[in-house]
Structure 1
Amino acid sequence: MLDIGRKLQDLREAHGLSQRALARRAGISNALISLIEKEKTSPSVASLKKILDSFPVELSDFFAPRPEGPPKTGAPRE
């Protein structure tokens, strides 16, 4: 299951932004950022696009699954 709120919070914190600062950048209310992060509401595609435009992140990258564990390299051992 995709946790949009958690992913958004992680992204925001990784860029050192408060909810208020992100809201200003995106041109939306900080209350909406808070509600999304708490999973109290789901953002519209337009709102999520505005938020993600505040970062160097595309919608497709935001929804791409995160790799679990370390990356696998080389040929499998036999």
Structure 2
Amino acid sequence: MSDNKFIISIGKTIAHLRKVHNLSQEDLAELSDTHRTYLSEVEGGKRNPTITVLKKMVDSFDISMSSFFKMVEEKND
């Protein structure tokens, strides 16, 4: 998988999980100590989230990082 496809898949997975958990971008941004515009760019595949911000986002969904990355891989299949 290319780097760009991987970043896009991360963003799509975050957006999917955010919607499943009935969170707005504003809600998730607040939970992960970031800005809504940053989150929007991550979800759109335009920004690569830092590992610390990604960890905070994933923690908000109450799943492990390994489960998150498994979902990312599955979205690309």
TM class by smaller structure: 0.7 to 0.9
Gaps of 5+ in 1: 68-78
Instruction: Return the letter of the residue paired with 2:74.
Output: R
Q: Equivalent residues in 2 for 1:1-78 (5 A)? A: 1=1, 2=6, 3-64=9-70, 65-66=73-74
2: CA distance, partners of 1:58 / 1:30: 23
Q: Which has the higher helix share?
A: 2
Query: TM-score of the superposition, structure 2-length normalised?
Result: 0.78
User: 4+ residue stretches of structure 1 with deviation over 3 A?
Assistant: none
Q: Deviations over 1:8-34 (max 9, x none)?
A: 000000001110011111111111110
Instruction: Kindly name which structure, 1 or 2, has the bigger radius of gyration based on alpha carbons.
Output: 1
Query: Matched residue pairs, number?
Result: 67
2: CA distance, partners of 1:50 / 1:25: 7
Q: Secondary structure at the match of 1:53?
A: helix
Seq. identity, %: 36
Query: TM-score of the superposition, structure 1-length normalised?
Result: 0.77
CA RMSD of aligned residues (A): 1.5
